[in-house]
Amino acid sequence: MEGEAKDIIVLGAIRRGNKKFDKIQKATQIKPDELNSILEKLEERNLITVEEKKGWLGKKIELEITNKGSNELDHRLHEVKEKWNQMQALYQSGDKQKLQGFMDDNRSFFPMMMFFGIMDIMMFSMMFSMIGASMGDYVPAESMPEGSDGTMDDGGGHDGGMDDGGFDIDIGF
């Protein structure tokens, strides 16, 4: 199921306008070899098309989501939203065992919930607190939003996404 979640995340990245491999890779944080494999599967299933275009510096490849791919993405997003609503209802009922069981059974949906902004991260943190777990127990580190380590973050030390004109150097940490 986790591989399927990554397929949906890649479809979403393409639909958001990331049409080139490097942009999709950056948006999804999926390793290049795995991303290439996912893109091949999506193309085989006719969920995306690969277009070769001529540019100033030679050929360039752009990916487009098909109608079938867009419909599949909409269907899966609806399913993920329903899972989130069920988790919220279980949290509000106060039943720790049911919430933990549901979260254990549906952990493959968490990366999609985060990528598409379906979950309320504050509510999600409270759910983990209620069952005595941390976000890292359920969500792989590469799927967590930047700055999220499974604990509450007061936002101190972050510039809120403002561009202060400084250099943005990614050294891989």
pLDDT digits (tens, 9 = 90+) for 6-15: 999 999 999 9
Q: What is the pTM of this model?
A: 0.72
Backbone angles phi, psi at 151, to 5 degrees: -120, 170
Domains of the chain: 2-68 (1.10.10.10), 74-143 (no CATH)
Nearest to 50, CA basis, from 7, 18, 19: 19
Banded model confidence at residue 173, pLDDT cuts 50, 70, 90: very low
Cβ atoms of 147 and 158 closer than 8 Å: yes
In this prediction, residues 161-165 reach a mean pLDDT of 45
